[in-house]
Chains A and B, each alone.
Chain A
């Protein structure tokens, strides 16, 4: 134990300190001292001037109850079929009521953190939207959406992975074009070049003694370079990314615009994502999962589980909006999607079972927001899908395709959503 660094706590915080020491030994400290605390210590080209938005793809896993997240408060069946979990219309008395977005739809109390972004015209709700395939299986539906299919097909790579494959990098020398924040690679990003799964951007380095770190990294590079994929490429990306992220002081990152990210997984992921985007190292896409939306029980959109989930979602997105816009970095397009919606009626457990139509959220400087975009199918018995669910009138692929073609430079038709017979429509998602 005498020669190498003491890592007795096994924690990232300690390691970051020791890495800082390593930097000092390496002579980088002098440069670092002249730079603002969190900024990268390398000078990069202004990749964000490429005219393309950074894509933030958020998958809300479990099946979001769209009727709770964006309430159709003029629909009588909504109230009739949901005796315990409906949210009162805007003109009701008391605090548990909808805040109107327009004449027909409104946010429940725990989504109202997003009202500023909505009123500024940066947030769009696309309602009665989703995957048209009838499956009610989480895993099938997520698979179709992530690879970009409407029906069972043979796609293996994700739509965002294919986007990266088919477009030139915004920064020619980028070693990290996309990340999935989590413990593994989300299907959405599979196939993407220079793409990694990262659990914590602020803690991406090689553990162990700093004295031997260079030698160990050299050895790892030599062992993996001649190997086969996917390990070879993953190792190359990892080793390059260690060097890259070392330049950014995530833990010292100060959001702008008085943005306050909630202390949650998602809040933390988006805060570090903001730092990553602003560091301008050529990252074009980030995929993040938010779990917890499978509300079969005690759904409680006003006080129960879903309230907490929506609070986290809305506060985080609102903080991201404040932070990025105050930094003149509204060149982002965040899209939130989910595998399906839930039944129009509540079940016996004050929750809802798997349904069909849901919604998407899109937020960005070029998003034609401040409205609820929908071809509302209605909730009367004869208007329901399969007699029990909100129908789908806008294909999820339409929304993604419009964003990617108009804001992410993907001009190859059919690249992202190649299914035969599918032609993406523009609904005016982008201004």
Chain B
């Protein structure tokens, strides 16, 4: 029997996946180490198949869409393309939003087929992942990173992808923890992505039953005689009601008692306990006594229903509606949403029993978008938005992942359970890693562009206009324009134009959205 060696968030985690100094992601093939399988060629195929017709190839000029439309595109996608501007210009604000909210009608089959064909771990169960990759735990992690990057880049379901990032932070799990290489890929599928524009209580319940979350917050050893209150506390503080918002220390302890026995089938357990890597309720370890949570009595002998009841109680609290509404508005609208707006979105939650689509629609009303103030892109957003705008073909995703790592934003590797911050204060002081990523665009080994994009022929003004249209929808500042004119000057070459692209991606107005 293998001894459990995990210690909650901040835990040192799986020795096979130790986080090397300097933040280079394990599993990101380094110099001299061949990529797993022939993944590089396969990824190029995915990119080609996934790119929708015409994306990145449009040569139209900047679209003079309304301020609200432009803000909506920036807020509701992972970065607008020239085609996105043209599309919203054609169909209008409301129709565009409807289309994104009704995401199942947006055909992403080409992308998903390619991903599933080339990244087989995306469809494997925890048991399969465990059995097949016990000696190569980085492969499922690497494939999940690549899929996350490629979906953000190429999926037509852009609002869905943007919300998936939001939920991955809301139910944040550090993939470097013990067992996470075979549990987090399943969690990502069954919690956030399964409900990204669905129903919040369902997502909450899925998370509570997710072995990845139970282990990450050490509920798997929460037992009747010695309750472990880690999960109970974060469930209320981070997943539902918000810190210091209507519950007491006694509630934390009582919730912990309700979740005693909520665990999983670990690889070191014998067969007969259910499928490896799945949720398991251990009746033996459950506290059968009566509990009282937030004033509500949970009668003795409830078994697994105690935890289910808690999820239900928490999902129906006004504090939960307020907390999720506030956080969602910070994500979709601005850092300081007004109380009035929070109330509206919270009401939408309460009225619909947590229907995320209704909340998102309320948050993204056109009137509101007009008053939204700029937010700072987080590094993942910066990278994806630049590649979407440029229509680049990612030749070496491991390099992109390396840049995300250097910027401190490799997906699913934030250690504490509160998710990557969504604040300018945290991210604005590390500009150098953004500029380094942008500089890598000068090197054709990371991303390949359509040759029309880095074409050095024609006047400087023409080249700068092209970059402005592609990356900034014609909103480039006079200062950036002047700096680019000077930089390109007389020395125009393909490399110099690519460096100029890097400068636009480094520019202050491109850091915001």
A-to-B contact residues, CB < 8 Å: 1, 3-4, 7-12, 61-62, 134-140, 152, 180, 182-185, 187, 190, 195-197, 199-200, 203-209, 212, 215-216, 218-220, 222-227, 230-232, 234-235, 237-238, 242, 263-265, 268, 291-299, 305, 308-309, 347-349, 351, 353-354, 386
Contact = CB atoms under 8 A, between A and B. Distances in A.
Contacts, number: 227
- The size class of the interface chain B forms with chain A is 35 or more
Contacts of A264: 21
B122 to A, nearest CB: 26
Contacts of A296: 7-8, 218, 228, 230
Contacts of A291: 10, 415-416
Interface in B90-138: none
B385 to A, nearest CB: 16
B416 A138 contact: yes
Given A184-B427, A223-B508, 15 more contacts: A8-B445, A10-B440, A134-B249, A190-B425, A199-B23, A204-B432, A207-B440, A209-B442, A223-B479, A235-B508, A263-B21, A305-B12, A347-B227, A348-B227, A349-B226
A263 B20 CA distance: 10
A223 B480 contact: yes
Question: Among the interface residues A1, A3, A62, A180, which one has the most CB atoms of the partner chain B within 10 A?
Answer: A62
A263 B18 CA distance: 13
A199 B503 contact: no
B221 interface: yes
Q: Closest 10 A-B residue pairs measured CB to CB?
A: A348-B226, A183-B408, A208-B439, A349-B221, A207-B436, A184-B426, A222-B483, A9-B31, A62-B10, A227-B508
A297 B486 contact: no
A152 B245 CA distance: 13
A231 to B, nearest CB: 5
Contacts of B86: none
B221 A184 contact: no
A258 to B, nearest CB: 22
A105 to B, nearest CB: 25
A261 to B, nearest CB: 12
Given A200-B22, A219-B487, A206 B237 contact: no
A131 to B, nearest CB: 14
Nearest to A8: B445
Contact of B503 (A216, A293, A354): A216
Contacts of B483: 218-220, 222-223
Given A137-B244, A185-B426, A353 B230 contact: yes
Contact of B244 (A140, A187, A208): A140
B227 A223 contact: no
A12 B244 CA distance: 44
A268 B429 contact: no
A222 B10 contact: no
Contacts of A10: 31, 399, 402, 440
B431 A1 contact: no
A217 B31 CA distance: 28
Contact of A140 (B243, B407, B442): B243
Nearest to A4: B495
A196 B429 contact: yes
B11 interface: yes
A58 to B, nearest CB: 15
Contacts of B454: none
B509 to A, nearest CB: 8
Nearest to B430: A197
Given A185-B425, A348-B221, A348-B227, A235 B10 contact: no
A138 B435 CA distance: 33
Nearest to B435: A206
A195 B429 contact: yes
A396 B354 CA distance: 42
A296 B415 CA distance: 15
A224 B508 contact: yes
A349 B225 CA distance: 11
